[in-house]
Structure 1
Amino acid sequence: MFKQKKNHREHDDSVSDSQSHSHSQGHEQQGSSLQGSELAISSSTGDRDSDRGSLGSSTRAPSVASTTPNKYGFIGGAQYTIDGEENVSVHVIRKRESKWLEMLNHWDSFMMKRYDKVRDRCRKGIPSAIRARAWQHLCGADRVLENSPGVFDQLANAPLDSRMEEEIRKDLHRQFPLHEMFLRRGGQGQEDLFLVLKVHSLVCGDGYCQAHAPVAAVLLMQMPAEHAFWCLRAICDKYVPGYYSQGLEAIQVDGIILYKLAKKVSPSVYKIIKKQKIDPVLYMTEWFMCLYSRTLPWASVLRVWDMFFCEGVKVLFRVGLVLLKFGLRQEIRNDCPSMYETLQALRNIAPGIMAEEFLLTQLMRLDISEEDLQKEHTRQTTKREQERIQKERIKKEKQQQEQARER
């Protein structure tokens, strides 16, 4: 379970003002839910303080160990690979970097008039030397930072409730413990992570959620703490609003949307999930809340995030549909007579399915449009609203009946 810890401090006025920043990117919230929350999702993982009991940690056993970090900074674990990225020549990389620098120097013009070009280049993969700057431009964090000088430092030095600090510090060592940035307790990486999560908890109306930690850690692997904070704010406010709220209702809604879309992408997968009555939150909560950072190999994580920052939450749905379609292909379904085996299969998807080249190719081949996502989103949010109205009507009628009996 991802646990939310409510922080009762008042929001900093200057930060609240900065949240009103709008970015010329009307493509980023298709299929997302803005709903509140009522129902808490319970965990079956047991001890919250153990590494394996927290969905904010890397629960897979190290598959490889090395004394030398790979090119992503990992020395082991599920994200450690030695062949991650496609083989691209230095000449091609430099050419891509040059094109990105041109775009970044004329950003507003490209976003307004040539968005398709920005999208296509994000789909090809942002050059690693450009990635931090590109992510900040894509989500608008660069402008918020520019308009909020000193805000991060001010909040970093502000007092934090002792219980909140304890909750955050408990999760620090669980974030990519086999990455060179986060190897040492109390090291610079973990301290930067604490600062980002602390400042975010001070300004976030929903307080601290364990799922904030892996997202913040990924950002810190790419950029300094202050920049990572503003990117985290953009993700939570603009891309996946409501995902980290009490009760996780937005996740529940998007889980149902993913389940319904699976009917079009892979009817046989939809059929087994329906037959076994598997609640979508049991398999997709970690996928969506951690933006696949704890699911995919690292080369794939970076490519998915490149697309996510440009195209928004619809990318999360497309990745989920590929994982469902191929993670529960026929030969796997044959060995899944019950919910238990099916969930185990989805928690242990073959590495080849999640590999960069295969995953990205299948994402582009999916027969799912933005219109499909929007229609299903509208259908599910409308249904939720009707159910809410019905519950309120029934509650009101009961109150009226009780009042009548009292008379």
Structure 2
Amino acid sequence: MDRRRNIPASDGTRSSRRVASPDHRGAKDRVERVDPYGFERSEDFDFGSYEQLMSEYMVVLTRRSIKWSQLLKGKKKVDKNVKLKRYVRKGVPNEHRALVWMSASGAQEQLDRNAGYYQSVLGAQHDPKLVDSISTDLNRTFPENVLFRKSSSTCLQKELYNVLVAYGQHNPTVGYCQGMNFIAGLLLIITRDEEKSFWLMEALLGRILPDYYSPSMLGLKTDQEVLGELVRERVPGVWGAMTEHGVMWSLVVSRWFICLFIDVLPVETVLRIWDCLFYEGSKILFRVALTIIHQHQSVMEDARSLPDVCQSFKHMTLGPFVEECHPFMQKIFTEPGSLSMATIAKLRATCRARILAEGS
């Protein structure tokens, strides 16, 4: 993931990071190289641009933090309504994210109804193949994040293992597949709680994104085709370029969907997307994808070959457009136009039937 200009947590607090002299690479500099989520910044991190961006974005963060504190007033749950939806779209402060995600997704209700369930599935006898698959991926999960290193005093690898094993036991049809480790990892970064992360995974994989991670991955394949249909209708120039060069959507956007934009977009942008994903559901993924594609329409239309198209998709997720998360999130609710769940459901039915027919 390109984190050269990632924005810190939206909690209204100002970062004290400054560029250190190359001759003074001590503990202070190492702290500066790690963002609030534990991700190490690259050697070419642009602190000048970062400070410029933050001078504008901190105003937004501070204002949102005050409004959220007034809205919640110490509540442990929130009810969905028009006002809350508007607040979520404008960003959830990091200190309230776990609460809002748990309430909005229904995960808190499931946790309350199933007290002790997480510990029971965690303590059950586990399939050795499941354990081996998960264990193999632990060190591959956010290798650039200090929170997932064994040498870290706050290492989250054990918690990550527990959440993934428990979920595999809970949903044996899905078990475990690559991509789930990044989802569980990001949930742990935000919640710092195994049980909450487990129930948020259940909300995502069981209800919000059904069949994304099943053996056939039919839900994932369907939504990739749905995106293609939306692009054909709303960004026909890009559709034409894809068709002309014979590019399959699975080749260029599968990573967007399977990891829910983790390791694709900057972390703060991903968290803003997830705020809306937990509240509004999977149509948010299409809004994000359409906005990114529409922004780069002219580049796509100029593509002369399949490699050109693939390179275009790679570069779409880099740069100020996606790094400046607040204006980006405003764009996703205006640029694609109206996009209802009814429209998505109709396209899913059509695309799913086509995929099943082709596979028969």
Interval of TM-score (by shorter of Structure 1 and Structure 2): 0.7 to 0.9
2:91–2:272 CA contact under 8 A, matched in 1: yes
Q: What SS does the corresponding residue of 2:333 show, helix, strand or coil? A: helix
1:183 CA drift (Å): 2.3
More helix by share: 2
Q: Aligned residue for 2:214?
A: 245
2:41 aligned to which of 65, 76, 82: 76
1:91-116 CA distances to partner (integer Å, 9 max, x unpaired)? 62542232341494573xx42xxx21
Q: Which residue of 1 aligns with 2:304?
A: 337
Task: Write the distance in 2 (CA, Å) between the matches of 1:219 and 1:391.
Answer: 35
Q: Cα offset for 1:332?
A: 5.4
* Cross-structure match for 2:12: none
- Whether 2:67 is the aligned partner of 1:96: answer yes
Task: Give, as a single letter, the amino acid of the residue that structure 2 aligns with 1:67.
Answer: R
Given candidates 165, 169, 178, the residue that maps to 1:210 is 178
- RMSD between aligned residues: 2.9
Per the alignment, residue 58 of structure 2 pairs with 87
CA drift at 1:87: 1.3
What TM-score, normalized to structure 1?
A: 0.72
1:198: how far off? Answer: 0.5
Distance 1:374 1:161, change over 3 A: same
Counterpart among 112, 115, 124 of residue 149 in structure 1: 115
1:67 aligned onto 2:67: no
Name the structure 2 match of 1:397. Answer: none
Structure 2: any 5+ residue segments left out of the alignment?
7-24
Report the Cα distance in structure 2 between the residues aligned to 1:375 and 1:89, rounded to whole angstroms: 33
For 1:103 and 1:228, the matched residues in 2 are separated by 21
User: Which residue in the other structure is 1:26 paired with?
Assistant: none
Give the direction of change, closer, same or farther, for the CA distance of 1:88–1:274 in structure 2 (3 Å limit): same
TM-score (norm 2): 0.81
CA contact (8 A) 1:269 1:329 kept: yes
- 1:170 shift after superposition: 1.1
1:346 CA displacement: 0.8
Aligned residues: 325
Computing the radius of gyration from Cα coordinates, the structure with the larger value is 1
Partner of 1:274: 243
Counterpart amino acid of 1:313? S
Cα distance in 2 for residues equivalent to 1:126 and 1:172 = 29
Residues 77 and 63 from structure 1, CA distance in 2 versus in 1: closer, same or farther, beyond 3 angstroms?
farther
1:259 aligned onto 2:228: yes
- Structure possessing the higher relative contact order (Cα contacts under 8 Å, 6 or more residues apart): 1
Identity %: 24
Equivalent residues in 2 for 1:105-254, closer than 5 Å: 107=78, 110-111=79-80, 115-184=81-150, 188-204=155-171, 205-223=173-191, 224-254=193-223
Deviations 1:235-284 (A, max 9, x none): 01110000001122211211111111113332211110121121111112
Matched to 1:219, the amino acid is L
Counterparts of 2:283 and 2:311, CA distance in 1? 25
Query: Which residue identity lines up with residue 88 of structure 1 in the other structure?
Result: V
Aligned to 1:370, what secondary structure does the other structure show? coil
CA distance in 1, matches of 2:46, 2:198: 28
Pick from 302, 308, 313: which aligns with 1:346? 313
Q: 1:121 corresponds to which letter in structure 2?
A: Y
- Segments of structure 1 that go 5 or more residues without pairing to the other structure are 1-57, 393-407
